[in-house]
């Protein structure tokens, strides 16, 4: 999804910090007097972007999210806990011959085990300083 952003500063060669603009009906081109636009968003969303076009601070640019991690991240965050839940329940019921309540306990343990990779992935993504976006072109 392509978004508009303002270049805030150059972090290092080829990487800029951008402020993402919230997508609104008017594209923030109005003076705030239209009924549908209450105001600009109160919080600024900052992100790193590769800067192949040499944009300077203050430039209005079009950015696109970097691709590659979306499907894998979704699998880790959503599918693995569900698989852990199912495997934990089946392990408790079939292999350990536990009752329903005890099998639910093993299912909860399986769910917790499924959340561990999601937690670790979140931690590594939070610590990463890799650019999340790529600047495509100048708007103005």
Q: What is the CATH number of the domain that holds 30?
A: 2.40.50
Average pLDDT of the segment spanning 110-115 = 94
Do residues 100 and 121 both lie within one domain? yes
For 74-126, the DSSP string reads HIIIIIHHHHHHHHHHHIIIIIS---HHHHHHHHHHHHHHHHHHHHHHHHHHH
Do residues 93 and 77 both lie within one domain? yes
pLDDT, residue 65, reads 84
Nearest-angstrom CA–CA distance, 59 and 17: 11
Do residues 77 and 89 both lie within one domain? yes
Location of structure tokens 């076009």: 53
Nearest to 2 by CA among 59, 64, 54, 75: 64
- Show the domain range for 85: 70-127
Average pLDDT, the chain: 82
Do residues 47 and 80 both lie within one domain? no
Average pLDDT of the segment spanning 92-120 = 91
Are 63 and 19 in contact, with CB atoms under 8 Å apart?
Answer: no
Q: pTM of the entire structure?
A: 0.55
Higher pLDDT, 32 or 66: 66
Do residues 52 and 92 both lie within one domain? no
Query: Sign of dihedral through CA atoms 88, 92, 93, 98?
Result: negative
Say yes or no to pLDDT of 109 above 90: yes
pLDDT in tens, 70-90: 677 777 888 999 999 999 999
Predicted confidence band of residue 68 (pLDDT cuts 50, 70, 90)? low
Do residues 55 and 9 both lie within one domain? yes
Angle at 55 between CA 50 and CA 56, to 5 degrees: 120
Nearest-angstrom CA–CA distance, 43 and 76: 29
Average pLDDT of the segment spanning 93-115 = 92
């Amino acid at each position: 999804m392509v978004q508009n952003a303002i270049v805030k500063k150059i972090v290092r060669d080829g990487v800029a910090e951008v402020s993402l603009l919230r997508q609104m009906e008017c594209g923030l081109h109005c003076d705030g007097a239209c009924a549908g636009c209450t105001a600009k968003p109160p919080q600024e969303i900052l992100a790193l972007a590769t800067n192949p076009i040499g944009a300077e601070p203050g430039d209005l640019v079009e950015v696109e999210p970097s691709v590659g991690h979306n499907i894998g991240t979704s699998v880790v965050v959503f599918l693995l806990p569900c698989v852990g839940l199912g495997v934990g329940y089946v392990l408790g019921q079939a292999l350990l011959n536990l009752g329903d309540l005890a099998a639910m306990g093993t299912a909860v343990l399986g769910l917790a085990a499924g959340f561990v990779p999601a937690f670790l992935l979140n931690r590594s993504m939070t610590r990463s300083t890799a650019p999340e976006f790529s600047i495509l072109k100048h708007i103005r």
